[in-house]
Amino acid sequence: MLRRAAASMLALSCAAALAGCDSGGSHRATGPRPTAPIPVTTPAHAPATQTGWLHGVAVDVPAGWPRNKLRCGTSYETSLIVLPAGAAFPACAWAKPKTLRPDVVWLAGFVPPLTASSRFLGADLPPGGLAKSTAVTINGEPARELQTRDNWTKEPAVLVVLPRRAVYVVVSSMHRTIRDSVVASIRFARRDAITGCLVRTSAYDAPPRHPHLDGRIDVSGAVSVSACHYVAGWLETTAASMPAAKLAALMRAIDAAPHVTSARAPVDRGCEGLAPGPPEWSDDGPVVLRFSFADGTSRIVVARVVECTRWQSYVFSGSVERRMTGALLAALPPVLVQFPGIDTM
């Protein structure tokens, strides 16, 4: 059994339009900006860091931290946790050791709208919820900040909610320097730093309007591929490279994709509706594959799993559309949080 981690969210009236993005350092303010620049001293040997990205939001943590160390949906050791809104966990429980004191950073998505009673993984909220938080500005975008405690370890924690981007950050640590440095590192970008994919787009949400069904999608000869998974228009997860053998398997699976069908899989009988699932679930959304070739050219192939009508799941490039298969689904880069059983496709 799986339980969804999607948090329902706010009625604190927030602007829904996406503001301009800035890939520079973060600027935080709770009032008027200072009239004169503040001198900053840069350490001679800055510690190595790694960056987590979600919805164009970045945070930095020490380079040695592992990622996504979760047990039953809770953190059990120092970790950077990057979590789409619809991520699922096993329905289980475990006893927390009395000495558990990990440093944990959550960079997670939520399902709008925000409400005063919204809940966030990794953070305790006081009575009144986000109404007790402080309005701040980060790189010109409105945010809410709350000094709180980890809802599992009870360590001091900071919650930062970014309503326009449907993202929140929780920093849980006994060390104030860690909390302060992670919060100070929050910043935005228009494109993914590794793959170059746009942070937000709906261009790939639908298949071609007038598809050609008699052609193959040929990406043979590609030397690399990057993958970007979009949910409700937001970039959720990315993968930048594949070993040669797996790349070859993906190219073969795309080339062998059969014609689309209007038939419905027997396993989908009784599934609610024939339309795709709600956009907040992380398995519902296009995977944009960019195949690169030795001559410097590239080709976009889009793959999408359609829940409840899985035999109508598709892959397309330009105006050519083909059917998704189990082999193709298995060969995709690991950007989907979960997907249908491969043998049911």
Burial of 116 (0-12, 13-18, 19+ CB in 10 A): middle
Q: pLDDT value at position 94? A: 78
Q: If 0-12 CB within 10 Å is exposed, 13-18 middle and 19+ buried, where does residue 125 land?
A: buried
Residue 120 has pLDDT above 80, yes or no: yes
Give per-residue pLDDT as tens, 29-42. 544 444 444 444 44
Question: Residues of 155-188 as b/e, b for ≥16 C-beta within 10 angstroms?
Answer: bbbbbbbbbbbbbbbbbbbeeeebbebbbebbbb
CA terminus-to-terminus distance, the chain: 21
Does 198 have pLDDT greater than 70?
Answer: yes
Q: What is the 3-state secondary structure (H, E, C) of 141-204?
A: EEEEEEEEECCCCCCEEEEEEEHHHCEEEEEECCCHHHHHHHHHCCEECCECCCCCCECECCCC
Q: How confident is the model at residue 331 (pLDDT cuts 50, 70, 90)?
A: very high
- The pLDDT assigned to 272 comes to 60
The mean per-residue pLDDT over the stretch 82-95 comes to 77
pLDDT of residue 211: 92
Q: Using a cut of 0.75, tell me whether the model's pTM lies above it.
A: no
Q: Please state the three-class secondary structure of 17-59 as a single string.
A: CCCCCCCCCCCEECCCCCCCCCCCCCCCCCCCEEEEEECCEEE
- The 10s digit of each residue's pLDDT in 172-196 is 999 999 999 999 999 999 998 888 8
Mean pLDDT, range 131-157, rounded to an integer:
92
Burial of 209 from C-beta contacts in 10 A (0-12 / 13-18 / 19+):
exposed
Best mean pLDDT range from 74-83, 128-137, 173-182: 173-182
Residues in the chain: 345
Mean pLDDT in residue range 328-335: 93
- What pLDDT is attached to residue 22? 38
Give the residue, 268 or 218, on which the prediction is more confident.
218
Q: For the beta carbon of residue 222, count every other beta carbon within 10 angstroms.
A: 23
Neighbouring residues of 64: CB distance < 8 A, sequence distance ≥ 6: 48
Per-residue pLDDT tens over the stretch 14-33: 333 323 333 344 444 544 44
- Residue 87 confidence (pLDDT): 73
Determine the pLDDT at residue 45. 53
Question: How much is the mean pLDDT over the chain?
Answer: 82
The pLDDT of residue 84 is: 82
CA–CA distances in Å: residue 256 to residues 51, 90, 216, 218, 342: 37, 34, 8, 9, 16
Q: State residue 323's pLDDT score.
A: 95
- pLDDT grade for 80, boundaries at 50, 70 and 90: very high
d(CA 114, CA 31): 23
Kindly give, in sequence order, each residue whose CB lies less than 8 Å from that of residue 276, ignoring residues fewer than 6 positions away.
Answer: 284, 306, 307, 308
Local confidence band at 281 (pLDDT 50, 70, 90 cut-offs): low
